[in-house]
C-alpha cells in the first residue's frame, strides 16, 4: 500500500473512531465537514457505514446527502460575500459576465453533476462559483442534495453487492482513467437529470413575468442585477 493509501486508511479510522458511534448522525456530520472545510474520504466512509449496518444503508445515504448540502453553504456563502471581486481580479468583466450567463442557464446541473462525482472533482470550487454567480440558496442545496444522494446511493449499492473493497476499484478508475470515466458518468447523470431542466424551463416559459420590456434591459445587466437569495 502506498503512502496516500496508508494516510487515507488512518484518516478514515480516526474519523470513524470519533464520529462512528454517532451512527447516521455521524455520517451527516462527517459529510458536512467534507463539504465545508477539510476533505474526507466520504466514499470509503459511506462504504464502511453501509457494510456494518446494511439494513439502514438508505438512512446513512440520506443523512450524508443532507449533511453535504448543509456543509456546502460555507464555500457558497463565501462566494456570495466577496467572490465576485476575487474572480474579477483574475478575469476581465466580459468573461465574467459570459460565465455568469452560462451558469444561469443550467445552474442546477452545473452544481448537481459535480456533487455526484467523487474526488478529484474540485467540488468546493463549484460551490464557491455558485455563490459568486448568485444561485438561489434553496436551489443550491437541492442540487447538492440530489447529486450527493446519487453518489452515496451508488456507493451503498456497490458496497452491498461487492463489498467495501469496491470503492478502491472505483477510485483506481478515476485515478488512472479519469477522462473516460468522467465522460461516462457525466453522460449518465445528464440523462438522469434532463427531466429536471426540462421541467424548470417549461415552468419558466409559462411564467408571464419572465419577459422583459426594453425599458427593463438595464435591470438585467449582470453588473447591476442581484438575484434573489432563496
CA dihedral 105, 111, 114, 117 (to 10 degrees): -120
Which of 92-96, 127-131, 196-200 is predicted with the least confidence, judged by mean pLDDT?
Answer: 196-200
Most confident of 19-23, 118-122, 201-205, 209-213: 118-122
CB under 8 Å to 15, separation ≥6 — which residues?
A: 30, 40, 45
Residue 184 confidence class, pLDDT cut points 50, 70, 90: low
Buried b (16+ CB within 10 A) or exposed e, 32-55: bbbbbeeebbbbbbbbbbbeeeee
Residue 212 confidence class, pLDDT cut points 50, 70, 90: very low
Structural domain boundaries in the chain: 18-202
C-alpha cell at 139: 436551489
Q: Please tell me the pTM assigned to this model.
A: 0.70
Residue 86 confidence class, pLDDT cut points 50, 70, 90: confident
Amino acid at each position: 500500500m502506498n503512502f496516500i493509501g496508508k494516510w487515507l486508511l488512518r484518516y478514515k479510522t480516526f474519523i470513524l473512531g470519533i464520529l462512528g458511534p454517532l451512527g447516521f448522525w455521524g455520517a451527516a456530520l462527517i459529510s458536512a465537514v467534507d463539504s465545508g472545510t477539510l476533505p474526507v474520504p466520504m466514499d470509503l466512509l459511506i462504504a464502511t457505514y453501509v457494510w456494518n449496518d446494511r439494513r439502514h444503508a438508505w438512512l446513512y445515504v440520506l443523512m450524508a446527502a443532507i449533511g453535504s448540502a448543509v456543509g456546502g453553504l460555507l464555500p457558497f456563502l463565501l462566494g456570495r460575500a466577496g467572490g465576485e471581486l476575487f474572480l474579477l481580479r483574475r478575469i476581465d468583466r466580459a468573461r465574467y459576465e459570459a460565465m455568469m450567463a452560462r451558469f444561469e442557464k443550467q445552474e442546477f446541473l452545473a452544481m448537481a453533476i459535480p456533487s455526484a462525482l467523487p474526488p478529484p472533482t474540485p467540488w468546493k470550487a463549484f460551490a464557491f462559483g455558485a455563490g459568486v454567480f448568485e444561485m438561489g440558496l434553496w436551489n443550491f442545496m437541492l442540487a447538492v442534495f440530489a447529486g450527493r444522494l446519487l453518489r452515496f446511493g451508488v456507493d451503498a449499492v456497490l458496497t452491498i453487492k461487492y463489498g467495501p473493497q469496491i470503492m478502491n476499484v472505483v477510485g483506481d478508475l478515476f485515478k488512472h482513467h479519469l477522462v473516460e470515466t468522467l465522460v461516462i458518468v457525466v453522460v449518465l447523470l445528464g440523462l438522469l437529470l434532463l427531466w429536471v431542466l426540462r421541467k424548470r424551463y417549461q415552468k419558466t416559459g409559462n411564467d408571464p413575468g419572465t419577459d422583459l420590456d426594453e425599458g427593463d434591459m438595464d435591470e438585467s445587466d449582470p453588473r447591476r442585477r442581484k438575484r434573489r437569495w432563496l
